[in-house]
Amino acid sequence: MFDFTLLKRYTTTLFEKMGCPPADAEVVADVLIAAELRGIPSHGLMRVKDYFQMVMAGRINTNPKVRIAYETPSTATVDGDNALGPIAAKFAMQVAIEKAKVAGTGWVATKNSNHYGIAGYYSLMAVEHNMAGIAMTNANPLVAPTYSTSKMLGTNPIAVAIPTGNQPTFIADFATTPIARGKLAIMGKKGEKAPLGLVQDAQGNPTDDPDTLLRGGAILPLGGDPVHASHKGYCMTSLVDIFSAVFGGANFGPFVPPQVAYLPLLEKSVGEGLGHFFGAMRVDAFRPIDEFKASMDQWIETFRSAQSAEGQPKVIIPGDPERQKEEMHRREGIAVIPQVLTELNEVAEKLGEKTLEEFDR
């Protein structure tokens, strides 16, 4: 078990050694460690190696000039200058928050960016200012629209965080697809079958093969099939893609640039880099803040008291599981997956830095 502050210091050091200015390195580390704290290791330290290889391949700019490229009182488009995603994304969300202070809401499209970690990180930034925060991003195409065999869309997550009074912050942070690639890979490694309704094979038929993505298959939209309204899942994932890419001028759908160095750059580009979209909404732009918070508390209390089906757990309030994990991880430390620890130390060695264990002494 490692203390999260140690992990953050170590990760900061690694990104400094990759050439990031210290303040930027700290932002990237903060976003990745936030994922570890919240129990989403697929978006935590596991990404250090991916980011490192992208930097080494010259596919990410470690000294970016992230800037506002276009704006109105309540909107902006940010040009990420091919930065590491967290650098562009945190800047953009701060712009959204500043806009909201004056105009009531702020909405910022971001182009020319890269993988940004957990969407929830950015949406939570707004809550500190008594604003609702919205963050979304597009991602590499793995999802086939209803009726199709073409991988056209990413798992395109969206996070919405909403201020509360006495209740913990409401935060829904989810990929808009029924399963993420990482979970399929784990099933494959364990030799398990995937439940039907999550993926299809190269011909578009139902399959329980968790490795179908390696064989031309695709992830299904939320809903699974047309009878269960997969067209609505397709709409949701498409909307995240359009807001993230078309609004600001990033690459959309099948043209999102790969975020791992072992995949070659795409031949065709229809915009600049990968795209995000952010929103910040002052809750007192709609009603007095105390009224809003009391109503949001009441919403949460109402849903917490929903009747569970026999043998089922209590109804979950979005954000509860991640908050509970964060409390535990802050108290007890974070268990880094052995393979990830090995990767971290390999990255460190290439950068001339100590191993995590040595750094800890």
Whole-angstrom Cα distance, residue 51 to residue 40? 17
Show contacts with its own copies in window 145-174 (CB under 8 A): 145-150, 152, 160, 162, 170, 172, 174
Residue 117 token pair:
């970690």
Residue 160 token pair:
């919405």
Whole-angstrom Cα distance, residue 191 to residue 102? 55
Show contacts with its own copies in window 44-63 (CB under 8 A): none
Q: Is 351 in the site for its own copies (CB under 8 A)?
A: no
Whole-angstrom Cα distance, residue 39 to residue 135? 19
Q: Is 324 in the site for its own copies (CB under 8 A)?
A: no
Show contacts with its own copies in window 183-202 (CB under 8 A): 195, 197-198, 200
Show contacts with its own copies in window 199-218 (CB under 8 A): 200, 203-205
Using the rule CB under 8 A, which residue among 67, 189, 193, 228 binds its own copies? 228
Q: Is 295 in the site for its own copies (CB under 8 A)?
A: yes
- Closest distance of CB 19 from its own copies, Å: 30
Q: Is 227 in the site for its own copies (CB under 8 A)?
A: yes
Show contacts with its own copies in window 62-81 (CB under 8 A): 70, 72-77
Whole-angstrom Cα distance, residue 140 to residue 232? 20
CA 184 to chain centre: 17
**Rounded to the nearest 5°, which phi and psi values hold at 51?**
-65, -45
- Closest distance of CB 209 from its own copies, Å: 16
Strand 75-79, strand 105-113: pairing: parallel
Q: Is 267 in the site for its own copies (CB under 8 A)?
A: no
Distances, alpha carbon 38 to alpha carbons 2, 116, 300, in Å: 15, 16, 20
Q: Does residue 259 sit in helix, strand or coil?
A: coil
Using the rule CB under 8 A, which residue among 25, 179, 213, 256 binds its own copies? 179
Show contacts with its own copies in window 11-50 (CB under 8 A): none
